[in-house]
Amino acid sequence: MATRKKVLLKVIILGDSGVGKTSLMNQYVNRKFSNQYKATIGADFLTKEVTVDDRLVTMQIWDTAGQERFQSLGVAFYRGADCCVLVFDVTVPRSFESLEAWRDEFLIQASPRDPEHFPFVVLGNKVDLKDNRAITENRAKSWCDEKGNIPYFETSAKEATKVETAFLTIARAALQQEKDEDIYHDFKDAVNLDDVPDKKQDGCGC
């Protein structure tokens, strides 16, 4: 039960369509970037094993689509999330203004036990497009501070700027959240059938 338990961190990426959610995930997991835009249909996930503070963890990163038709994945999609990443495009003001709505959407759907302290991370993506920049770093930061000191990173999925650093922060925040949840579940949501230590496996299957 204690420390050697395998850890799965569920991370959900939200944000307007076209801000680069899939690209960020692909850059982080596969170290690949494609200029060709392809709308994500529904949701998809990638997994990556990473070491966070000497702990091997599996990150399951979920990428969502803007299209309403596929939001039917519903509650299961959000259930058990350990960290929510909000992404906007620094060249598109509207995508920044949507952050609030995405954050609310997440809190409603995932209904975390402790919404005040649930970890979010904000990424301002496409910083490589310097000439078209519309949202300043300060403006983004002050929004993040207002919402309870959300960590903020300026990324470029295209040039792999700060992607690794951002995801390390995401993983740390998720790991902390997962630990808290786990302790909670140990007390709350468990049925004690019989306190026998793990019996031999490989019996005859089931």
Residues that bind another protein in the complex, under the rule CB under 8 A: 1, 5-8, 10, 16-18, 36-39, 41-45, 47, 58, 60, 65-69, 71-77, 79-80, 94-95, 97-98, 101-102, 104-105, 109, 185-186, 189-206
Least separation, in Å, of the C-beta of 63 and another protein? 11
Least separation, in Å, of the C-beta of 194 and another protein? 5
Nearest to 87 by CA among 186, 3, 11, 4: 11
Identify the residue whose tokens are 């990173």.
153
Three-state DSSP class for residue 161: strand
Element (H, E) at 182: helix 163-187
Structure tokens at 53: 């503070």
The one-letter amino acid code at 205 reads G
Least separation, in Å, of the C-beta of 184 and another protein? 12
- Residue closer to another protein by CB (options 149, 179) is 179
- Residue closer to another protein by CB (options 7, 173) is 7
Least separation, in Å, of the C-beta of 193 and another protein? 5
**CA distance readout (Å), 157 to 44, 67, 196:** 18, 22, 49
- Residue closer to another protein by CB (options 131, 203) is 203
* Cα–Cα distance for residue pair 10/173, rounded to 1 Å: 11
- Residue closer to another protein by CB (options 76, 138) is 76
Query: What is the residue-wise DSSP string for 69-90?
Result: GGGGGHHHHHTT-SEEEEEEET
- Residue closer to another protein by CB (options 86, 166) is 86
- Residue closer to another protein by CB (options 165, 183) is 183
On whether the CB atoms of residues 170 and 84 are closer than 8 A, the answer is no
- Phi, psi (degrees; rounded to nearest 5) at 190: -135, 145
Least separation, in Å, of the C-beta of 102 and another protein? 7
Least separation, in Å, of the C-beta of 116 and another protein? 20
